[in-house]
Structure 1
Amino acid sequence: MTTHSEELCRKIEMVMPIYAAATRRMITSPGFRDIYPEYLSTSHMLVRASVPVMRRALARCVELARQDEVADRLGAYLREHIPEELGHDEWVRDDMAAIGADPDEPWRRMPPPSVARVVGSQYYWIDHYHPVTLLGHITVLEGYPPTFPVIEDMIRRTGYPRAGFQNLLKHARLDVHHRKDLFAAIDALPLRPHHRAAMSTSAMNSVILYADVIDDLMTRVPARAAA
């Protein structure tokens, strides 16, 4: 029998090549060294939204819990998981400092529309449909962590010190465990077909939008670097 998490991963893997292709275009660009600081700045904009989005989902779970068992159990998972995600935006700032970039720069900039679309879609579905949608988004983030060979390739291609890649290296290690906990939580939920469809839609949307974020950030680097 197929589990909820297995079904979700099958859906994600249908669109994951889109994200993989965008990532490969970025990493193999001749100007990747110049692109990487923008990648970190954009990553910070995304990462710093993770805990607030989860807190909003938890608040919705509390609102729905009395009449919604899925929301009640999802709330229990979020209460445990939110503390594990605190401070990850500081990891990105540390990476920026390690490569000589200004770690305060992401706070001074308005996040671009590509970032707002990723985060905003989660807020919308949490508030106007059901917080279970966030599990699809989290699965994309933690179910498919960066691999060590890819990170090593990024280090080699940029020439930046290894200290500038600690956020990626930490997630490559930690998300293996987070993925196991996440899948156990998903499989324990009494999901109905509409819940499973919502998770899948959210997850596939996130994959496609993350690919757009990568393509977009490359356009913000001077043309001479990204050519």
Structure 2
Amino acid sequence: MTPARTMTPSAALDVKLALAAPALGAAFAELWRPEAPVLRTRYLAYLYEMHALIRSSVPLMERAAVRCARAVPGDPIAAPLRSYLERHIEEERGHDDWLLDDLAAAGGDPARTADRLPSPVVAELVGAQYYWIEHHHPVALLGYIRVLEGNAPAPWLADRLAARTGLPAAAFRTVRAHAELDGGHLADLDALLDALPLTPEHRTALAVSALRTADGVTRLFSYLATAPGGPA
């Protein structure tokens, strides 16, 4: 009898995330229903909320890297996790500025992002990661990154939204860029997950973080879809 293969950590995480995929896909489809004129306003609301989310990416990873540097002696994943985070910080740095440029091109007001209160959904998404980084283990952040990188905008989305909203191509830089970049980032992350000597406790933290993030992104899309008159 051929022995059963052990599933890699990245594959095991994909199996768990498949449970959340139908709800996330439905929320995405509802968000981008082709209903002008609200779609233009909805896209502006999306840009404001995504800026609130993405501007936290580098600070989250910086905090996680600091926690790795202060890990207890003998933690076998702290050093490679820190190395990955430091590389990925540089890959993600400045992406929040892309969203400000998109907002300006779409007719929004980038200056509003400094004072505007992000939605509770964004605060919950990001806040959970800070808690797990500080009070459990920074490996949990990889579950969050895995969901965001693994649910990048589809390659066709920017062109479709441009056609339906009448907004200029310059308003979709971030959507286009993440459609192109996140596939490579996802491959790098999966390689890391499969190389780290993860314990069952680490795998649980990854799964809980990833599923919590998938639920949060689903709720964010649903929130935007049901509040189309958001911040224009």
What's the TM-score, normalizing by structure 1? 0.93
Question: Residue 21 of structure 1 aligns to which amino acid in structure 2?
Answer: A
How many residue pairs match? The answer is 224
1:118 and 2:118 matched = no
1:176 and 2:192 matched = no
Q: Would the aligned equivalents of 1:65 and 1:72 in 2 still touch at CA under 8 Å?
A: no
Distance of aligned partners of 1:8 and 1:221 in 2 relative to their CA distance in 1, 3 Å threshold: same
Report the alpha carbon displacement of residue 132 of structure 1 after superposing the two structures with TM.
0.6
Map of 1:91 onto structure 2: 98
Structure with bigger helix share is: 1
Q: Would the aligned equivalents of 2:31 and 2:224 in 1 still touch at CA under 8 Å?
A: no
Note the 1:26-37 alignment, pairs <5 A.
26-28=31-33, 30=35, 31-37=38-44
The one of 140, 163, 168 equivalent to 1:161 is: 168
For structure 1, the 5+ residue unaligned runs are none
1:60 and 2:67 matched = yes
Map of 1:17 onto structure 2: 22
Question: Residue 5 of structure 1 aligns to which amino acid in structure 2?
Answer: S
Map of 2:116 onto structure 1: 109
1:129 and 2:136 matched = yes
Report the alpha carbon displacement of residue 166 of structure 1 after superposing the two structures with TM.
0.7
Map of 1:204 onto structure 2: 211
1:4 and 2:9 matched = yes
For structure 2, the 5+ residue unaligned runs are none
The one of 42, 55, 62 equivalent to 2:49 is: 42
Describe the superposition over 1:105-136 as per-residue Cα deviations: whole angstroms up to 9, x where unpaired. Answer: 22121112111000000001111111111001
Cα distance in 2 for partners of 1:162, 1:54 equals 30
Report the alpha carbon displacement of residue 97 of structure 1 after superposing the two structures with TM.
0.9
Cα distance in 2 for partners of 1:217, 1:26 equals 7
Q: Would the aligned equivalents of 1:147 and 1:172 in 2 still touch at CA under 8 Å?
A: yes
Cα distance in 2 for partners of 1:183, 1:41 equals 29
Cα distance in 2 for partners of 1:63, 1:120 equals 21
Cα distance in 1 for partners of 2:74, 2:67 equals 12
Q: Would the aligned equivalents of 2:77 and 2:197 in 1 still touch at CA under 8 Å?
A: yes
CA RMSD of superposed structures (Å): 1.7
The one of 83, 86, 89 equivalent to 1:79 is: 86
